[in-house]
Structure 1
Amino acid sequence: MTSPYRAIFAAPGTRAFSAAGLVGRMPLSMLGIGIVTMVSQVTGRYGLAGALSATVALSGAAFGPQVSRLVDRYGQARVLRPAAAITVLSVLVLLALVKGGAPSWLLFVCAAGAGVMPSLGAMVRARWSAIHRGTPELLHTAYSFESVVDEIVFIVGPILSIGLCTVWFAEAGPLLAALFLGAGVLLLTGQRRTEPRAHPRTHHSGGSPVRAPGMPVLIGVFVGTGMVFGGVDVITLAFADERGHKPLASLVLATYALGSCLAGLTFGLMRPRGTAQGRFLLGVTLMAVSMIPPLLVGNLAFLAVALFFSGLTIAPTMVTSMNLVERLVPRAQLTEGMTWTSTGLAIGVALGAALAGRVTDAQGASTAFAVPAGAALLAAAVAGLGYRRLRPAPERKEPRGGYDDGHGTIEAHDAIEAHDTIDGHGDMA
Structure 2
Amino acid sequence: MKVYAGLFRTPAVLAVVASQTFARLPMGMLSLAVLLHIQAKTGSYALAGAVVATVSVAEAIAMPLIARIAGKARRTATLMIAAAVNGVSLVALAVAGTSPASLVVLGMLIGASVPPLAPVVRSLYPSMVSGPGLRALFALDTTAQEVCWVVGPLAVTVLASTLSTALPLVVAAVITVVGTVWFLFSARRVRSVTGGGRTRFGAILRNRAVVLAIAASLPLIASFTALEVGVVARYGVGSPMTGAAIAVASFGSLVGGITLGHRTIGLRGLSAALATVAVGTALFGVIEQHGLALAVLFASGLGFAPALSALYLMVSRGVVEHATTEAFGWLNSGTLIGGAVGTASAGLAADAHGFVGAIVVSVALAALAALSPVIARVGGPLVGLGEEPAADLVQTSI
What TM-score does the superposition give when structure 2 sets the normalisation length?
A: 0.91
Aligned residue runs from structure 1 range 73-88, under 5 A = 73-88=72-87
Aligned residue runs from structure 1 range 92-111, under 5 A = 92-97=91-96, 100-101=97-98, 103-111=99-107
CA distance in 2, matches of 1:343, 1:337: 10
1:215 to 210, 216, 223: 210
AA at the equivalent of 1:173: P
AA at the equivalent of 1:111: G
2:198 to 204, 210, 231: 204
Partner of 1:117: 114
Partner of 2:47: 48
Partner of 2:330: 340
CA distance in 1, matches of 2:182, 2:82: 15
CA distance in 1, matches of 2:346, 2:127: 40
Evaluate the alpha carbon distance shift between residue 301 and residue 392 of structure 1 in structure 2; reply closer, same or farther with a 3 A threshold: closer
| 1:127 and 2:124 correspond | yes
Deviations 1:201-242 (Å, cap 9, x if unpaired)? x82236532111232222122221121122122222232217
1:331 to 315, 321, 326: 321
| 1:251 and 2:244 correspond | yes
CA distance in 2, matches of 1:227, 1:406: 25
Shift, 1:41, TM fit: 2.4
Aligned residue runs from structure 1 range 161-172, under 5 A = 161-172=156-167
User: For the Cα contact (< 8 Å) 1:262–1:312, is it kept in 2?
Assistant: yes
| 1:287 and 2:277 correspond | yes
CA distance in 2, matches of 1:271, 1:221: 19
Deviations 1:40-78 (Å, cap 9, x if unpaired)? 223232222222212211211111111110111123212
1:229 to 220, 224, 230: 224
AA at the equivalent of 1:136: G
CA distance in 2, matches of 1:25, 1:383: 28
AA at the equivalent of 2:118: G
DSSP 3-state at the match of 2:343: helix
User: For the Cα contact (< 8 Å) 1:253–1:304, is it kept in 2?
Assistant: no
CA distance in 2, matches of 1:12, 1:154: 27
CA distance in 2, matches of 1:312, 1:169: 36
Deviations 1:9-51 (Å, cap 9, x if unpaired)? 2222222111110111101111111111222223232222222
State the identity %.
23
Shift, 1:390, TM fit: 7.0
CA distance in 1, matches of 2:382, 2:319: 7
Shift, 1:341, TM fit: 1.6
Shift, 1:192, TM fit: 4.8
Partner of 1:141: 136
Aligned residue runs from structure 1 range 271-420, under 5 A = 271-272=263-264, 276-298=266-288, 300-389=290-379, 391=381, 407-411=387-391
CA distance in 2, matches of 1:192, 1:253: 33
DSSP 3-state at the match of 1:204: coil
AA at the equivalent of 1:369: I
DSSP 3-state at the match of 1:138: helix
User: For the Cα contact (< 8 Å) 1:295–1:367, is it kept in 2?
Assistant: no
Evaluate the alpha carbon distance shift between residue 239 and residue 119 of structure 1 in structure 2; reply closer, same or farther with a 3 A threshold: farther
Shift, 1:138, TM fit: 0.5
AA at the equivalent of 1:411: A
Shift, 1:172, TM fit: 1.5
CA distance in 1, matches of 2:24, 2:354: 33
User: For the Cα contact (< 8 Å) 1:136–1:407, is it kept in 2?
Assistant: no
Gaps of 5+ in 1: 397-404, 415-429
DSSP 3-state at the match of 1:74: coil
| 1:39 and 2:31 correspond | no
AA at the equivalent of 1:177: A
What value does the CA root-mean-square deviation take over the aligned residues? Answer: 2.3
Size of the aligned set, in residue pairs, is 392
What TM-score does the superposition give when structure 1 sets the normalisation length?
A: 0.85
Which range moved further: 17-26 or 292-301? 292-301
